[in-house]
Amino acid sequence: MDKLSDAAIARMLTSHHMPDGSHLNLITDIYDFIARNPDRFFDLVWAHVRLSFTSLLIALLIYVPFGILFSRIRFGAQLVGLFSAIRVIPSLALVFLFYPFLGFGDLPAIVALVVLAAPALITNTYAGLHGVNAAILEAAAGLGMNRAQSFLKVEAPLAMPVIVAGIRLAAIELLASATLASFVGAKSLGQYILTGISLLDTTYLLVGGIPIVLLVLFTDTVLSLAERLLMPGHRAR
């Protein structure tokens, strides 16, 4: 019994001191992993960025015009609400939804990501344009501006901070959700995460997860700054 007690005590002492050492070892493991596979690592980082922002660009070309249109029609608010319902669909479900029709690779992933960007882009475009004070539009008309001039010179600039906020939300959503694209064979940092899950390897999980967090934080910071710079009060200075 004494030997068992001594062994138990030794295990308790070891486990008590493990966290600090394990954290340092984990950081070293991550650095060594990237140092041994720099080409693979940066290839997946670039693929993740390319996949996310290609999808965002396509979504902008589709959904910003939708938001503009909905701000002009009678039932625009109801249509915006319909597109907002996409938020309740799990990202992974959308990724798998297009796989039977589009197969493996980037295409089903891009289509799913474009769909995921709809709520933020349409809602914020609509809200930004719909929130422009009617008195300002009347003043623009009084100055002799036609509808196109009023939109380009008055409405769009005033709505731009809200629209950029929607772009920021969509970009963050896509950078995070692009991880799931690896389930359908698209190249992204999700490949490291899937490998880490299947092997129960924390190093793979962190090598895939940490860059995604950094990309999200960087994108959020840049677009938040752009949003503040586009505020009417800031531009007037």
Residues 9-49: pLDDT tens digits?
344 334 444 445 566 787 888 889 899 989 999 999 999 99
The number of beta carbons lying within 10 Å of the beta carbon of residue 183 is: 17
How confident is the model at residue 21, as a pLDDT?
A: 54
State pLDDT tens for residues 165-183: 999 999 999 999 999 989 8
Q: Alpha carbon of 231 to those of 157, 168, 225: distances in Å?
A: 9, 15, 10
Radius of gyration, CA atoms only, the chain: 24
How confident is the model at residue 12, as a pLDDT?
A: 39
The number of C-alpha atoms within 13 Å of 108 and in the hemisphere containing its C-beta is 22
pTM: 0.83
Q: Does residue 31 sit in the same domain as residue 124?
A: no
How confident is the model at residue 17, as a pLDDT?
A: 42
State pLDDT tens for residues 120-164: 999 999 999 988 888 888 888 888 888 888 888 888 889 999 999
How confident is the model at residue 127, as a pLDDT?
A: 93
Q: Does residue 63 sit in the same domain as residue 175?
A: yes
State pLDDT tens for residues 188-236: 999 999 999 999 888 999 999 999 999 999 999 999 999 898 886 665 4
Q: Does residue 63 sit in the same domain as residue 117?
A: yes
Is residue 7 predicted with pLDDT exceeding 90? no
Confidence of residue 4 (pLDDT cuts 50, 70, 90): very low
How confident is the model at residue 8, as a pLDDT?
A: 45
How confident is the model at residue 6, as a pLDDT?
A: 45
Q: Does residue 91 sit in the same domain as residue 122?
A: yes
CATH of residue 161's domain is 1.10.3720.10
Q: Which residue has the higher pLDDT, 16 or 114?
A: 114
Q: Does residue 192 sit in the same domain as residue 160?
A: yes
Q: Does residue 31 sit in the same domain as residue 65?
A: no
State pLDDT tens for residues 69-112: 999 888 888 999 888 888 888 888 888 888 888 888 889 999 99
Backbone phi and psi for residue 105, each to the nearest 5 degrees, phi listed first: 115, -165
| CA neighbor of 58 nearest in space, from 100, 102, 121, 103 | 121
Q: Does residue 135 sit in the same domain as residue 69?
A: yes
DSSP states of 148-198 as a string? HHHIIIIIHHHHHHHHHHHHHHHHHHHHHHGGGGGGGT--STHHHHHHHHH
Q: Does residue 76 sit in the same domain as residue 17?
A: no
How confident is the model at residue 46, as a pLDDT?
A: 96
| Structural domains counted in the chain | 2
How confident is the model at residue 55, as a pLDDT?
A: 96
Q: Does residue 225 sit in the same domain as residue 135?
A: yes
Tokens of 170: 């969509």
Tokens of 210: 């940490």
Tell me which residue range forms the domain holding 3.
1-36
Q: Does residue 22 sit in the same domain as residue 137?
A: no
Q: Does residue 15 sit in the same domain as residue 92?
A: no
Q: Does residue 8 sit in the same domain as residue 45?
A: no
